[in-house]
Amino acid sequence: MATNIGWELYRSFLGVLKEGSLSGAARQLGITQPTVGRHIAALETALGVVLFTRSPSGLLPTTVAHTLRAHAETMARTAAALERAASSQGDEVRGVVRVSASEVVGVEVLPPIITQLHREHPHLKVELVLTNRLSDLLQLEADIAVRMVRPSQEQLLARRIGLIEVGLHARDDYLQQHGIPQHMHDLAGHSVIGFDQATAYIRSLAIKGFERNAFAISSDSDLAQLAMIRAGAGIGGCQVQLAQRDPRLRRVLPDGFAFKMDTWVSMHEDLRNSPRCRVTFDALVAGLQRYVQA
């Protein structure tokens, strides 16, 4: 087995894994299809394994390819982090900073914060990653993360923002038509909007009357749930601060359904002296504190 395998071979390997074909990988990577083919052949020869088999639907990864995928993705994250670090050398705030946040916070809360940040630092580029999964800062998936849980790793710098409360809300015309529930058991007579698959966090809440079998509309996308509430489809969970921005949304059952998410901004301690990360971190903290205190 060869011991000096270039990153470009693994890059093409990941491209084919994601796209399922040489042509798709070539388009994604901005190189030619024959080049991708040569990279895959060279990687298979160097490793002494078969990575893909041909089928009518495209290239199918072998068991070996699936096994190597996680390691190649780690290499990709490291390469991306190296590029971000190299692009921001010097005292000027420039280069790329990768920010991870939940769907709702990323779409509803961060845009004005990032807009102001870009106005103040036009050479700064922000990559916004929307995911409800906790991005691993130690594995370089992001430079900075907005999390609804206190970071536990000692290598992370973290700033507590405060509590974001979530309550049940519905549009005014829905409540006019269907009535306002007075008790949690009254939800049985309403169109309730909720999750599709319960996460460990949702299971830990154990809110009686707000279970999957009671939902008329379900989705694991918090944005989809929020859109349904705003459309007047029923009653669902929404951040109180967001609901206060919409004059048509009304909170119901505040005593029966309420939970608070402890919100933090964190980054790896090795980035404390990076101008691009420092100003972004400070901007996120300040902007999110304004949101929580609104």
Give the Å distances, CA to CA, from 283 to 81, 123, 125, 290: 21, 15, 14, 11
Q: Is the pLDDT of residue 132 over 60?
A: yes
Predicted confidence at residue 2, as pLDDT, reads 55
Query: What's the rounded Cα separation, in Å, for the pair 23 and 36?
Result: 8
Domain residues of the chain, as ranges?
7-85, 95-161+263-293, 163-261
Predicted confidence at residue 125, as pLDDT, reads 92
Rank 5-19, 58-72, 98-112 by mean pLDDT and report only the highest: 98-112
φ, ψ dihedrals at 278, nearest 5°: -65, -50
Give the Å distances, CA to CA, from 117 to 94, 98, 114, 157, 235: 12, 14, 5, 20, 35
Span 98-107, pLDDT tens digits: 999 999 999 9
Cβ contacts of 182 within 8 Å, gap of 6 or more: 253
Query: What's the rounded Cα separation, in Å, for the pair 142 and 135?
Result: 7
Predicted confidence at residue 291, as pLDDT, reads 96
Q: Residue 273 is encoded by which pair of tokens?
A: 């002296």
Mean pLDDT across 16-36: 91
166 contacts 253 by C-beta, under 8 angstroms? no
Predicted confidence at residue 91, as pLDDT, reads 60
Predicted confidence at residue 230, as pLDDT, reads 97
Comparing CA positions, the residue from 242, 264, 245 lying closest to residue 162 is 264
| Higher pLDDT, residue 211 or 253 | 253
81 contacts 277 by C-beta, under 8 angstroms? no
Give the Å distances, CA to CA, from 192 to 150, 178, 223, 232: 30, 12, 15, 11
CATH classification for the domain delimited by 95-161+263-293, as one of 3.30.230.80, 2.60.40.60, 1.10.10.60, 3.40.190.10: 3.40.190.10
Q: Is the pLDDT of residue 46 over 60?
A: yes
Predicted confidence at residue 136, as pLDDT, reads 64
223 contacts 206 by C-beta, under 8 angstroms? no
Span 185-230, pLDDT tens digits: 999 999 999 988 766 666 666 676 677 788 999 999 999 999 999 9
Predicted confidence at residue 199, as pLDDT, reads 64
Predicted confidence at residue 138, as pLDDT, reads 56
Q: Is the pLDDT of residue 72 over 90?
A: no
Q: Is the pLDDT of residue 283 over 90?
A: yes
- Tell me, yes or no, if the two domains 95-161+263-293 and 163-261 fold the same way: yes
H/E stretch holding 205 reads helix 200-205
Predicted confidence at residue 38, as pLDDT, reads 92
Please report the DSSP string for 158-174 in residue order.
Answer: EEEEEEEEEEEEEEHHH
Average pLDDT, the chain: 88
Mean pLDDT across 89-93: 65
Q: Is the pLDDT of residue 94 over 90?
A: no
Domain 7-85: which topology?
Arc Repressor Mutant, subunit A (1.10.10)
Mean pLDDT across 231-251: 96
For domain 163-261, the question of CATH label 3.40.50.300 is answered with no
Query: What's the rounded Cα separation, in Å, for the pair 110 and 128?
Result: 9
Give the Å distances, CA to CA, from 254 to 40, 83, 184, 257, 261: 58, 48, 10, 6, 16
How sure is the predictor about 77, in pLDDT bands with cuts at 50, 70 and 90?
Answer: confident
Q: Is the pLDDT of residue 253 over 80?
A: yes
How sure is the predictor about 1, in pLDDT bands with cuts at 50, 70 and 90?
Answer: low
Mean pLDDT across 124-137: 80
Q: What percent of the chain has pLDDT over 70?
A: 89
229 contacts 236 by C-beta, under 8 angstroms? yes
